[in-house]
A and B are shown apart, each in its own frame.
Chain A
């Protein structure tokens, strides 16, 4: 008992990290966030170009159509990036002890992944905003676990 008291008397209150993140992986939800923001931006752009196309003429029409298709392609690609980045966090970063603290974690990831698919299938500002919110929720949980 006395020994324990001595121990707590001398125990440091600060921790210094001599860690390696590399073999264990550096995890960061910001890539998913940037990709989700890109999806939302592309939804905006697609809707803008869709309005432009019917009134554009000649070269301007070709440019508008080109931009329209490119925006769709970028939206598709970045929705997939969100899915991939979330999968990395879900499968590699989060551990059973995180799940105990955040029991909704699996459901949150599942819904976020489904929102990625929905954003591929649709041009829907609400779906894009929902995806951004889902990524933010995961990001908040991630940073909360880092603080412990």
Chain B
């Protein structure tokens, strides 16, 4: 599941990260080669299903343990349910939305 390239593309499905990223957005993700930081958006392996990727925001970092949360608390399944992730489960950080074009731009 870990992409081979420094940058990789992903398509978002689901509403839990609105309005930061929306269902159908296409993102460019940069592999993270450092520890995740609180507050940043990350792409991580779902601890419940290793084939599945999540996009969430880092809510806490405790050593090697990273908690993630959705921006839409009522519409998100995240570390509140499945607990923290190992830092190694965090693959990268979305840096750019390239589609849809009218909302294209850098992601903070």
* Interface mask (A33-62 → B, CB under 8 Å = 1, otherwise 0): 000000000000000000000000000000
Is A11 a contact of B15 with CB atoms below 8 Å? no
Whether, in the assembled complex, A96 has its beta carbon less than 8 Å from a beta carbon of chain B, the answer is no
Contact of B54 (CB < 8 Å), options: A18, A23, A147: A18
Whether, in the assembled complex, A101 has its beta carbon less than 8 Å from a beta carbon of chain B, the answer is no
* Interface mask (A70-88 → B, CB under 8 Å = 1, otherwise 0): 0000000000000000000
Which of chain A's residues have a CB closer than 8 A to the CB of B74? Answer: 20, 22-23
Say whether chain B's binding surface is mostly helix, strand, loop, or mixed.
mixed
Contact of A17 (CB < 8 Å), options: B18, B53, B72, B99: B53
Q: Would you list which residues of chain B between 1 and 33 have a CB under 8 Å from chain A?
A: 3, 8-18, 21, 23, 26-27, 29
Residue of B nearest to A21 (CB): B77
On whether A14 and B77 interact (CB within 8 A), knowing A20-B16, A20-B72, A147-B51, the answer reads: no
Residue of A nearest to B21 (CB): A18
Residue of A nearest to B43 (CB): A16
Q: How far is the CA of A19 from the CA of B56 in the complex (A)?
A: 9
Which of chain A's residues have a CB closer than 8 A to the CB of B46? Answer: 17
Chain B min CB distance to A46 (Å): 35
Chain B min CB distance to A12 (Å): 4
Whether, in the assembled complex, A1 has its beta carbon less than 8 Å from a beta carbon of chain B, the answer is no
Which of chain A's residues have a CB closer than 8 A to the CB of B76? Answer: 18-20, 22
Q: How far is the CA of A15 from the CA of B10 in the complex (A)?
A: 5
Whether, in the assembled complex, A10 has its beta carbon less than 8 Å from a beta carbon of chain B, the answer is yes
Is A16 a contact of B77 with CB atoms below 8 Å? no
On whether A11 and B26 interact (CB within 8 A), knowing A17-B13, A18-B14, A18-B21, the answer reads: yes
Residue of A nearest to B9 (CB): A12
Whether, in the assembled complex, B75 has its beta carbon less than 8 Å from a beta carbon of chain A, the answer is yes
**B residues within 8 Å of A by Cβ?**
3, 8-18, 21, 23, 26-27, 29, 43, 46, 49, 51-56, 70, 72, 74-77, 81, 98-99
Give the top 8 A-B pairs by smallest Cβ distance, nearest first.
A12-B9, A19-B14, A18-B14, A20-B75, A21-B77, A16-B55, A18-B17, A18-B16
Can you list 15 pairs linking A and B with CB atoms under 8 Å apart?
A11-B11, A11-B26, A14-B10, A16-B13, A16-B27, A16-B54, A17-B14, A17-B53, A18-B23, A18-B54, A18-B56, A20-B16, A20-B70, A20-B77, A21-B77
